[in-house]
Amino acid sequence: MDCHRKTFLLKFLCVAFLLNYSNVGFVDAATNIGLNYGLLGDNLPPPSEVINLYKSLSVTNIRIFDTTTDVLNAFRGNRNIGVMVDVKNQDLEALSVSEEAVNTWFVTNIEPYLADVNITFIAVGNEVIPGEIGSYVLPVMKSLTNIVKSRSLPILISTTVAMTNLGQSYPPSAGDFMPQAREQLTPVLKFLSQTNTPILVNIYPYFAYAADPINIQLDYAIFNTNKVVVQDGPLGYTNMFDVIFDAFVWAMEKEGVKDLPMVVTETGWPSAGNGNLTTPDIASIYNTNFVKHVESGKGTPKRPKSGISGFLFATFNENQKPAGTEQNFGLYNPTDMKPIYKMF
Ligand SMILES: *[C@@H]1O[C@H](CO)[C@@H](O)[C@H](O)[C@H]1NC(C)=O
Ligand SMILES: *[C@@H]1O[C@H](CO)[C@@H](O)[C@H](O)[C@H]1NC(C)=O
């Protein structure tokens, strides 16, 4: 097996085989695939070991869910790894009050790392739009945008949203936002258009499939067929991921927001927790095919030229999340850092 080829996919395979032999020495180009690094487990390896795993995989983009000191400290000196951090949901209300409050947050949580951590994105809140605290997102985004601009920092400011914003998602051209999403999300999208910053979206075909496994074909949900399953006008869809992605694109267009880039901050498939819908094999097929889809550079039927960039969820199984599938989205076992399944 040639372990010196370029793709993240192949590296996964190689690492799966070679994890016992350290220093396999992958030297590879950046890809458009990142990994989420969640911390809701009591058996996770220390951050320094996790960074070594990322280095061995040549992963160049990581997303963490807050600004945890020991994790960010571990990234010091690894400037080739881009790090996306979140403003925590529970901080949004207090920060929405003034730019001064946001500046204090920035000085405390971001500034200490700027010299030697490559912070690429700050996501203001995770999946809070649409919802009770959704209206706090935009003022905090505006303050942070002013702060990074005034310091000429190359940090992008956005927010992460779930597909619950869609009232209609099928067929994709019928994509439309719910009323509360329209109220809270549309102004955010318009602001992002002005700064040409991607909206961050979490897309999980798994949940749609699990809600209706009788009527939805598994192969369509896991990118495992070349057959057109959904024909939408001139656009033919072979997989559910593209349908959901494009429904969001259509919904944005209906709000007058055209050509706004999207980054997929989360996608994945659990390897356990829901019977035969969540096996290591199915999870492996989904994640492998997602990476292939991204690496093909083909984009989606509605955006065939722009490609997709995305983060797989997640690095590790996290045992302090709700029991069941939520604990089983990891690619790696936290206790021995071995892959839970091969990415093929
Ligand atoms: C920071 O990370 C981004 C995203 O991976 C990358 O494009 C950029 O080159 C990195 N910066 C440095 C200094 O390596
Ligand atoms: C799961 O098991 C049920 C009952 O045996 C079967 O009908 C279904 O096709 C299986 N689904 C998958 C994805 O294997």
Q: Verify whether ligand 2 is closer than 6 Å to residue 3 (CB atom).
A: no
**What pLDDT, on a 0 to 100 scale, did the predictor assign at position 32?**
80
Nearest in space to 190 (alpha carbons), one of 265, 255, 143: 255
Within a domain: residue 249? yes
H-type alpha helices, 259-304: 280-296
Locate 230 and state its tokens: 């959904």
Question: Model confidence at 2, in pLDDT bands (50, 70, 90)?
Answer: very low
Residue 78, classified by CB atoms within 10 Å of its CB into exposed (0-12), middle (13-18) or buried (19+), is: middle
CATH code assigned at 23? 3.20.20.80
Question: Model confidence at 20, in pLDDT bands (50, 70, 90)?
Answer: very low
**What pLDDT, on a 0 to 100 scale, did the predictor assign at position 199?**
98
Within a domain: residue 53? yes
Instruction: Please check the confidence at residue 15 and state whether its pLDDT lies above 60.
Output: no
> If you search the block for the tokens 């897309």, which residue do you land on?
203
Q: Verify whether ligand 2 is closer than 6 Å to residue 152 (CB atom).
A: no
Locate 96 and state its tokens: 């929405």
Average pLDDT score over residue span 294-312: 93
Task: Give the number of domains in the chain.
Answer: 1
Nearest CA to ligand 1 atom 12: 80
Q: What is the pLDDT of residues 139-183, one digit of tens each?
A: 999 999 999 999 999 999 999 999 999 999 999 999 999 999 999
Question: Model confidence at 11, in pLDDT bands (50, 70, 90)?
Answer: low
Q: Verify whether ligand 1 is closer than 6 Å to residue 79 (CB atom).
A: yes
Q: Verify whether ligand 2 is closer than 6 Å to residue 150 (CB atom).
A: no
Within a domain: residue 226? yes
Return d(Cα 24, Cα 80) in angstroms, integer.
Answer: 19
**What pLDDT, on a 0 to 100 scale, did the predictor assign at position 272?**
98
Indicate which ligand has the atom closest to the C-alpha of 79.
Answer: 1
The answer to whether the pTM exceeds 0.85 is yes
Catalytic residue annotation: 127, 266
Nearest in space to 79 (alpha carbons), one of 28, 33, 115: 115
The helix/strand count (H/E) of the chain reads as: 11, 12
Return d(Cα 265, Cα 219) in angstroms, integer.
Answer: 23
Question: Model confidence at 31, in pLDDT bands (50, 70, 90)?
Answer: low
Element housing 34 (H / E): strand 33-37
Within a domain: residue 337? no
**What pLDDT, on a 0 to 100 scale, did the predictor assign at position 268?**
98
Largest Cα span, the chain: 57
Instruction: Please check the confidence at residue 10 and state whether its pLDDT lies above 80.
Output: no
Expressed in angstroms and rounded, the spacing between residue 208 Cα and the centre of ligand 2 is 16
Q: Verify whether ligand 1 is closer than 6 Å to residue 268 (CB atom).
A: no
Closest ligand 2 atom, CA of 282?
13
Expressed in angstroms and rounded, the spacing between residue 315 Cα and the centre of ligand 1 is 20
Within a domain: residue 101? yes
Within a domain: residue 333? no
Within a domain: residue 344? no
List all residues 6 or more positions away from 40 whose beta carbon is below 8 Å from its beta carbon: 318, 319, 320, 321
Instruction: Please check the confidence at residue 324 and state whether its pLDDT lies above 90.
Output: yes
> If you search the block for the tokens 């061995």, which residue do you land on?
56
Locate 286 and state its tokens: 């989904």
**What pLDDT, on a 0 to 100 scale, did the predictor assign at position 12?**
52
Instruction: Please check the confidence at residue 1 and state whether its pLDDT lies above 50.
Output: no
Expressed in angstroms and rounded, the spacing between residue 132 Cα and the centre of ligand 1 is 35
Expressed in angstroms and rounded, the spacing between residue 79 Cα and the centre of ligand 1 is 7
Q: Verify whether ligand 1 is closer than 6 Å to residue 58 (CB atom).
A: no
H-type alpha helices, the chain: 8-18, 47-57, 69-75, 92-95, 99-109, 137-150, 179-195, 205-211, 218-221, 240-254, 280-296
Return d(Cα 216, Cα 214) in angstroms, integer.
Answer: 6
Instruction: Please check the confidence at residue 5 and state whether its pLDDT lies above 60.
Output: no
Closest ligand 1 atom, CA of 82?
2
Average pLDDT score over residue span 112-118: 97
Q: Verify whether ligand 2 is closer than 6 Å to residue 218 (CB atom).
A: yes
Q: What is the pLDDT of residues 216-231, one digit of tens each?
A: 999 999 999 999 999 9
Indicate which ligand has the atom closest to the C-alpha of 77.
Answer: 1
Nearest CA to ligand 1 atom 14: 80
Within a domain: residue 203? yes
Give CA 137 to chain center in angstroms: 18
Nearest CA to ligand 1 atom 2: 82
Q: Verify whether ligand 1 is closer than 6 Å to residue 80 (CB atom).
A: yes
Instruction: Please check the confidence at residue 9 and state whether its pLDDT lies above 70.
Output: no
Domain range holding 34? Answer: 3-327
